[in-house]
Amino acid sequence: MKQGQTAVAGAKIHHVRTAFLILSACAAYPVMAQDAVVQPKKPETVAAQKNDRVDGDTVLKPITVKSGGQDGATKGYQPVSTVTATRADTPLIDIPQAVNVVSQDVLKDQKAQSLDDALSNISGISQSNTLGGTQDSVIRRGFGDNRDGSILTNGLKTALPRSFNATTDRVEVLKGPSSMLYGILDPGGMINVITKKPQQTFSGEIYGTASSFGGGSTGLDFTGPIVGTDFAYRLIGEYKNVDYWRNFGKTKDWLISPSLSWYGEDTEVTVSYTHEDYSVPFDRGTIFDLNTGHAVNVDPKIRFDEPYNISKGSSDMATINVKHELNENWKLSLDYGYSYNEYSDNQARVMAYNAATGNVTRRADATQGSTIYNHAVRADLSGDVEIGGLRNELLFGTSYDYADTLRTDLIRCGQSVNFNIYNPVYGKMPACTTVSKADSDQTEQISTASAYIQDSLHLNDQWILVGGLRYQYYDLMAGKGRPFITNTDSHGGKWVPRGGIVYKLTPDVSLYANVAKTFRPQSSIASYYGNLPPEEGISYEIGSKFEIAEGLTANVALYTSDKKNVAYSEAIDGETYVKTAGLVRARGVEVDVAGEITDELSMIASYGFTDAKVLEDPTYAGKQLVNVPRHTGSLFFAYDFGEVGGSNTLKVGAGLRGAGKRAGMNTNAYFLPGYIVADAFAAYTFQMERPLTLQLNLKNIFNKTYYTSSIGTSNLGNQIGEPFSAVLSASVKF
């Protein structure tokens, strides 16, 4: 699609989504009103039989029944099955690959507000360059960046800058190469955010939060059947207005998400739509002094930019999912997703730092009128059949994705040295309005089409062989400027295989091994020398999955991953060129544990060791990969006291999360220090006609100053972790 067509399409889409939003809200109102009289469901804590005898009579002791996930994928903190790893609902123990799940119970107890919060529970995960905190950016097993397409929603790629919000039910992480099922990806794996679906049993919740930073949020989540029909609905809404923890800034966000499901005899159809408006601080953090290797000695709350450093925009996502049982052995699944994001931002960007004086050189930049949209289509035919006397779980699939990114006006002004980090005075650098023609109309368009097949062959009750093959075709164009200069124009195809084996020592203990390949075509809006071939990766993994005790699951994995044709930037005669050279490798060990130790005590814990470095490269050979800690770890416990003070209930929890030191630049000129922070929560539920829960979450209890990531190319942008905070929430369930 040409640029002019892109802009027109974006304008039309804006009007369509606005109309759809209004209609959705109007349609949902009578549904909610109709179901408002439905009797509230019973509290989650109920009486269950633990038989004690007193004078010959049986006394029933109350215990807590752990809530399950919306589709049985989790039970309390424990992951049970996943659709991410095989595209079918498969028990985790039967999958020859590490899969981690952060359940809804964990997200609620920890009051997770971002994907980073959720993923802090998973081994081998760290944060990459988040573009000033405006985008999700996750490193898995040493690989990942903010535009690698590794974060999916319900198995579909999207244009969303942040995938975690009030609609999130759980987060699944598929470790290692995932290209056979999901296409263009790095060898580190992918993240699948599973959203909440309409349920056939009525439930509702209205909640509000207050933050110690200032401000808070309010929201609702109602779901249930539409009486007298085969339909079920869900309506989620949230408004957030929270002060930023540094010396200026505010996060504003509102979201509405209606969804509707139809349940036929053999067919299920779900349609959903989510609209979100957002305004977030564009904050590149602090500076590290290359002379000392430490962050500059300035209060972490002091920003080095301007109050106009804001990224503001809106996003939309519409999906349809059709599931049809052809017969007792074969199922058909069709998915379509459309996502759209439009945004503009301003920033006073730090360009240089004088350690002797504390003066910084800044430049006023902006990106105005940016649009990103994505179409994703997938069709899967899955069967569970017997061939030659052996059970085969077969998958045949095809997919198509189209993504279009356009950054219309790139604003660039001259540099200025009028700011001192030790005596900051704001307002001396106004926002820029000068359009750089050479940098504007930055465009990337990529379309991919693929077909794949997979078989999980059960040789007997103990041995499972898994094999798959995908053919991936791509067509890629990228460039910039007025007049427009195309710097990347490539197309091609690649076969992507996957193989694995599972040996079940017992029904609750399995050993596994796998090997798989990945590839990712590369693009550059800058000029490049020679060919720009796709990055290619291969990974080997062995591991074990087992139940430590009933309800408590563990996964141990050892892996090695190589990636070649890695792109890097180089300045030649004042111009930036992109080249490919080099081989990088990541090796590691991971341990993840989650579930219930007893009926009252739950836990989720992780440890990851990652050795990620450059093996071959004319500039960076021997260097550690940026933002990849050798050690990551987390430990979180929750204890449910059950009834305390009559029929009211109490639940408390606490834990630690941390990471080792990480390289801040490709040259390894400095390292972000390691850290450990502590969190805790307490939730008290008043068992009334409408149960009321008050919950207090404390984050970074000891107010540790720590750094989550760097921009990677210089020492001038390093994200600072949030200081101590308290969040008080209240929710009423229906």
Confidence band for 132, pLDDT divided at 50, 70 and 90: very high
Residue 71 above 50 pLDDT? yes
Of 77, 45, 39, 65, nearest to 203 by C-alpha is 39
Cα gap 584→564, rounded to integer Å = 6
Residue 51 above 70 pLDDT? no
Average pLDDT estimate for 655-664? 98
Confidence band for 378, pLDDT divided at 50, 70 and 90: very high
State residue 86's pLDDT score.
82
The pairing of beta strand 310-325 with beta strand 330-353: antiparallel
Q: What are the pLDDT digits (tens) for 258-302?
A: 999 999 999 999 999 999 999 999 999 999 999 999 999 999 999
Cα gap 489→504, rounded to integer Å = 48
What is the 8-class DSSP label of residue 255? E
Q: What are the pLDDT digits (tens) for 599-611?
A: 999 999 999 999 9
Cα gap 322→290, rounded to integer Å = 55
The residues, ordered by sequence, that sit 6+ positions from 46 with a Cβ below 8 Å of its Cβ are 62, 65
Cα gap 489→444, rounded to integer Å = 10
Confidence band for 566, pLDDT divided at 50, 70 and 90: confident
Cα gap 117→5, rounded to integer Å = 39
Average pLDDT estimate for 662-690? 96
Q: What are the pLDDT digits (tens) for 711-726?
A: 998 999 999 999 999 9
For the entire predicted model, the pTM comes to 0.89
220 versus 44: the higher-pLDDT residue is 220
State residue 531's pLDDT score.
59
DSSP 504-561: EEETTEEEEEEEEEEEE----SSEESS--PPEEEEEEEEEEEEEEETTEEEEEEEEEE
User: How many CB atoms neighbour CB 301 within 10 A?
Assistant: 12
State residue 576's pLDDT score.
55
Cα gap 518→516, rounded to integer Å = 7
The pairing of beta strand 552-564 with beta strand 45-47: unpaired
Identify the weakest region by mean pLDDT among 107-116, 553-562, 613-622, 673-682: 613-622
State residue 18's pLDDT score.
39
Average pLDDT estimate for 141-159? 93
Residue 732: is it exposed, middle or buried by C-beta count within 10 angstroms (0-12/13-18/19+)?
middle
- List, in sequence order, every residue forming a beta bridge with 557; answer none if it has no partner: 543, 590
DSSP 379-428: EEEEEEEEETTEEEEEEEEEEEEEEEEEEEEEEEEEEEEEEETTS---SS
CA separation, residue 400 to residues 271, 403, 452, 641 (Å): 19, 10, 12, 50
- List, in sequence order, every residue forming a beta bridge with 91; answer none if it has no partner: 81
State residue 569's pLDDT score.
57
State residue 572's pLDDT score.
53
- Of 3.40.50.2020, 3.40.50.720, 2.40.170.20, 3.40.50.170, which CATH number belongs to 3-28+64-733? 2.40.170.20
Average pLDDT estimate for 192-202? 97
* Angle formed at CA 368 by CA 367 and CA 369, multiple of 5 degrees: 130
